Every structure is written in structure tokens, then in C-alpha cells.
Amino acid sequence: MDGVAEDVIRPLREAGEYLRINDTPVAFPTETVYGLGADATRSASVKGIYSAKGRPSDNPLIVHVSDLQMLRGLLEDDKSSQDPIPDIYKPLIDKFWPGPLTILLPCGNKSTLAPEVTAGLPTFGARMPSSTLALALIKLAGVPLAAPSANASTKPSPTAAHHVKHDLDGRIELILDGGPCQVGVESTVVDGMCDPPVVLRPGGVSLEEIRSCPGWETVVQAYKDQSEVGKAAPRAPGMKYKHYSPRARVILYEHSFNRGRTSLTAEDLAETLNKMSDGPQKVGLIRTRDWEAGAGLPLATKAATNGTNGANGHHSSTDTLYEIVATDLHNTSGTILGHVLDLGLGSDTRKIAQGLFSALRDLDGLGADVIFVEGIDDKIDIAAAVMNRLRKAASEIRL
């Protein structure tokens, strides 16, 4: 840790020490989302993650390492001089580590990992994050850190320290604040121990990037959201598999919705709101590439900038990903149908990924009852990860 200022390193050293001794997890930033870390070799501390998050214990955790030596220490040593890291992963490790990629590895018989990490599976997921703070924390803790995303189970993943505080305040003691996450969606999870190799979760490394590596040319997608969309949508509200969900009801418009039209319109909004009872609704709009601001309605007052509407928002202006602007939607007889909160993430896929979870959380914080989201073409760059999370968050998908 040469050359790192003492006031930066001290809290990390203390957090590393805390992780070795305590059974309560520590929240820390990574380049993807904030993680909730614990010593992956001790059962009591790993159990602390599941209880802080309210996570079902049959969902395995990713093990975070600071270097390859730490990873090799978790793999079976067959006494030959061979590297225990399987060859299939070498090109991926060279290209994407440290970074947003998780690889599945065999646990072996003498694994030092706590069994709770893998939820009884014969494999474990491993990742070397690129965030300097994350790497320093793991190194200072001196042990691999098991860490899921640091949100309450079912909520959108946290991409800022105040998101973690919102979900887990009172359940954990330490949150390391490294500012907003750069990638904004979780790591891509791959399994190279089967033939052909598979992507289990789309994430911060795109399918194309993985496919460009030797041995990975035939990689196939082994997650399901795509086929669900092909079926007769919209899915019935309430039928969703709850995940990544804000409190508000999310209505996702697939990329195909915009075919032959330019934007969601005020009439589209009114049609949905007319079917909802209980007077005027608060409506969030998350726009990406094509929708007009406010569905074409005149925009009135600025409601918030990301991160500033919560009690703990402390972002500098350079962190600003979007502004939230308010307007009202009236019906033909002039009564208010809804209060619209409009937010544009822009057209750049990486920027959309970066702002997505924060946007869902901010609109929730402003009291949105329903959020209309403009989907993007999932073939472009890391859009597969964005659309995967949105399809899971959605109560209804419109094509």
C-alpha cells in the first residue's frame, strides 16, 4: 500500500481487521455495485451476510480475491507443478481481471471456503474486482471475501453508499464509501467447466467480449429472460419473480415497442393511469434512446438530481447522471391524472447501465407508484445486463 495516503488507508485497515474478527459483514464499493463482504473461510461470518440481507441461503455467493495467489490457495493442489487455475479461464483472466467477470471453479475436497458460501454446490464463483478500494480491503483483510450485492434481498442493487445505508442501516456497522459505481450492473457470471461454456448471468463484460477469447467462441447464454419475452407478453402483474424491484410497479417497454413510432406519448400514459384507481398517481419515466422528455408534456419544475433527494446524498456535481423533472398529466376534462417525474439516462449503453439502479431507487424515494421504462436493444454491448435486470424488476412487459 505504498504511496497511499494514511487517511485513506486507515479506515481500510480497520475494516480489514474488523472482517477478520467480527461476524457482521462490511459494505464496500466495487466497480459494479456495492458488495456486502465477509471472511469467506468462516461460517459464522458468511452466515452474517445472509441474515443482514434477508437472503435465501440456497443462493450462492461470489468470492472476491485480490490476486491470483489468493485464488490458487482456494483450489485443489494436485501436487503436480501445474497451475490449479483451469486453462479455459486463462484468456478471460488475462483480458478481464481485475474487472466485472465472475468465473465458476470446482471447490475440491479440501476447500477452505465455508460451506455456506456455495450453498452446497460443488463449484464456487470467483472474481477479482478492479475497484482500488475493494482490492485494498481484500488485501488488508488477508482473506478472500464472500460478497453479494449490498442491497436488501429483492431490491435494486446499490450503486452508491447511501443506497446501502437505506437498505441495511441498523443491520451492519461499517459502510465504506467509494462514491458511485462506474459500471452500475453486476459482474458477468460464466462457467467454463462445461462444453460449450456458458454465460449464467449477463453483466459488465459483454457476450461479444467473452466470445472473442480463445476457447470461448462457442459460448452460449444459459439464462432465461429472453425466452420469457418471446412468449405471449404482457405478463400478468403479480406473477413476477421479484428481484431488482423498487417498491413502485415497473412497466417495461421492450425495444420493439418503438418500432414504427417515435415515443411513448401522453395518451399512452393516460391510458394506463385511467385503468388505475385511487386518484392521481405518481408516475416515473426512465427514458433512454428515443422517448421524448415527459412523454411530450411540458416540463415544469426540477424535482431532484440523482443522489440528492435522499437524506444522505452527498455527490459532487461531476457525479450527476441525470436530473429528475416534474410535470402534471391532465385528462381531457382538465383533472389531474398523474404527477410525472421524468428522468433521461441518455443513449449510451454504458451510461444507461451506470444510472439504472440509481434511477429506480430515486424514483421510489420520490414516491412513484408506477415507473415506465424505455428498454433498449439487448444485442448492443452490455445492454443484455440492463435488460435482464429490467425484465426481472418489471411487473409488466410491453412489446
Give me the residues that bind ligand TXA (CB under 6 A), please. 30, 32-33, 35, 59-62, 100, 102, 104, 118, 121, 123-125, 127, 129, 147-149, 186-187, 189, 200-201
Question: For the chain, how big is the Rg over CA atoms in Å?
Answer: 22
130 binds Mg ion (CB under 5 A): no
In the complex, which residue's CB is closest to Mg ion?
149
With CB cut-offs between 5 and 8 Å by kind, which of ligand TXA, Mg ion, none does residue 165 bind? Answer: none
* C-alpha cell belonging to residue 268: 399512452
Shortest distance, position 169 Cβ to ligand TXA, whole Å: 19
Nearer to ligand TXA, 119 or 326 (CB): 119
Shortest distance, position 123 Cβ to ligand TXA, whole Å: 4
Shortest distance, position 47 Cβ to ligand TXA, whole Å: 15
Nearer to Mg ion, 182 or 187 (CB): 187
Is residue 288 classed exposed, middle or buried when 0-12, 13-18 and 19+ CB atoms within 10 A define those classes? buried
DSSP E strands in the chain: the ranges are 26-28, 35-39, 62-64, 101-106, 123-127, 145-146, 174-175, 188-191, 198-201, 220-221, 249-253, 281-287, 301-305, 323-330, 336-344, 370-374, 396-398
Q: In sequence order, which residues have a C-beta less than 8 Å from that of residue 200 and are 6 or more positions away?
A: 104, 189, 190, 191, 222, 223
Look at residue 64 and give its three-state secondary structure: strand
149 binds Mg ion (CB under 5 A): yes
**68, 103, 125, 327, 374 from 64: Cα distances, Å:** 11, 11, 9, 44, 33
Establish how many alpha carbons lie within 13 A of residue 362's alpha carbon, considering only the half-sphere containing its beta carbon: 29
Nearer to ligand TXA, 58 or 78 (CB): 58
With CB cut-offs between 5 and 8 Å by kind, which of ligand TXA, Mg ion, none does residue 147 bind? Answer: ligand TXA
With CB cut-offs between 5 and 8 Å by kind, which of Mg ion, ligand TXA, none does residue 256 bind? Answer: none
Which of the ranges 1-9, 147-155, 219-227, 375-383 carries the binding residues for Mg ion, by CB under 5 A?
A: 147-155
Nearer to ligand TXA, 41 or 118 (CB): 118
188 binds Mg ion (CB under 5 A): no
List of residues contacting Mg ion (CB under 5 A):
149
